[in-house]
Amino acid sequence: MNSKYNLTEGGILQKLLLVALPVMGSQALQMLYNLTDMFWLGRLGADAIAASGTAGMYMWLSFGFLIIGRMGAVIGVSQGLGRNDPEDAQRYTQNSVYVSLALGVFYGLLLIFFRRPFIAFFTIPDANVTQRAELYLLIVAFGMPFSFLTSVFDGTFASSGNSRTPFLISIIGLCVNMVLDPVFIFTLKGGVAGAAIATVIGQIVTFAAMLIAIYRSRHRPFANFRLFTRPSLPHISQILRWGIPVGLENMFFTAMAMVTTRFTSVFGTGALAASRVGSQVESMTWLLGGGFGTALTAFMGQNYGAGKRDRIRQGFRLSALVMAGYGLLVTAILIWGGRLLISLFISEAEYIPLGIAYLRITSFCQIPQCLETVAASVFKGTGRTVPPSIVSIVSNALRALLAWILSGTALGVYGVWLGICLAAVIRGCWVFIWYLLSARSTLRGITPRTQELIE
């Protein structure tokens, strides 16, 4: 393994940032990718944003399936390289490809055949919004296998310590989307469907670039990578053991978000559009913070495989400080910059106050969400994916319950958003405290047998 990308040696903060900054850059590009769609669709009105946002919930749900294969690559590759066993690390990537390809095709077909009942779940009163959402969902379904496979290769690069290559590829995908969006939406008069077509083309281009990189890049993770080899049932089984808890966590999180979106839709198209825009602006925390989490998982995986307990402890402390500071910064932006941010995407003046209120309410959960990212990433890097999944599933059930109760009060739609915020605070504090209480037993998982493998 290239010493530059070896996360078991060198300054901890330096190594974390070496991986984290490009990953966070990639996530920032993903955020811009989403915001680009909303910016152009916003020129068509709140109906277009509401339609793409409703369909986008199922793209979000896809992450619960996508993360299963990706997590197998992230943990398997990082721990394999930490043990100085690149052949085993490569087998995790190869078998993650099989898992992700099967899940990507399955989920794409699910969207194609069940798009109408999926959109009907939200009981949107505007038939125009419903029809646009169904069409958007039909088109983006064809891009699912490509995005699933791209995620495996992205996770493989990041776990090997090289997150720069996926970042550069993400720039290519963003540029394709930024160029094609106005062309398909306005020039070709595709509207919402045009935005979906541009998204799928961007996904295909990104996948092709990632495939070339894993074979040809000078800093590729493996010298002689083969995409299709004989499947290894032990590796697939381990991938599923690692990935299914995290996948269920993400699916349940999105399912509860769908429930709260249904509560929001009762209050009209304006509330739905404000919620969609606000959640994308708020993604500064969960997208960029999640990017840091990917880097931290890779760091922890390599050092866990190498048996370096002290380095894991120091990495956790430094990451907690960095992410708490970042959460404070996002909180300030959401409170004092909300009007400017919302007005970029919503042209109807009467809906802007709703978006501002959404951002101010959710600003209070940003620091707990950042600390959750740190603790959950350490758990995952050391192979313990169950604790953060348990916390997330229980907390998100509470999220829907609180949103339902508070929406029935005089708070109305603000009650929905307050319930979401309170549940996020509980989730973040809970998983962070759980890790603090279990850190000793987690690190005790580095057994004498692990040390023998290292030596």
Comparing CA positions, the residue from 35, 230, 73, 36 lying closest to residue 151 is: 73
pLDDT tens sequence across 76-96: 998 888 888 889 999 999 999
Q: What is the pLDDT of residue 454?
A: 36
CA 251 to CA 79: how far, in whole Å? 26
Q: How many CB atoms lie within 10 A of CB 356?
A: 21
Domain extent, residue 82, equals: 7-454
Domain presence at residue 277:
yes
Domain presence at residue 415:
yes
CA 442 to CA 309: how far, in whole Å? 10
Domain presence at residue 2:
no
pLDDT below 50 — which residues of the chain?
A: 447-455
CA 322 vs. chain centroid, Å, equals 20
DSSP line for 186-255? IIS--HHHHHHHHHHHHHHHHHHHHHHHHHH-TT-S-TT--S-----HHHHHHHHHHHHHHHHHHHHHHH
Total domains, the chain: 1
**Residue 344 tokens, joined:** 């970029």
For the entire predicted model, the pTM comes to 0.75
Q: What is the pLDDT of residue 28?
A: 73
CA 155 to CA 202: how far, in whole Å? 19
| CA pseudo-torsion sign 41, 47, 53, 58 | negative
Cβ–Cβ under 8 Å, residues 5 and 160: yes
pLDDT tens sequence across 284-299: 676 677 778 878 888 8
Domain presence at residue 1:
no
Amino acid at 312: I
Domain presence at residue 376:
yes
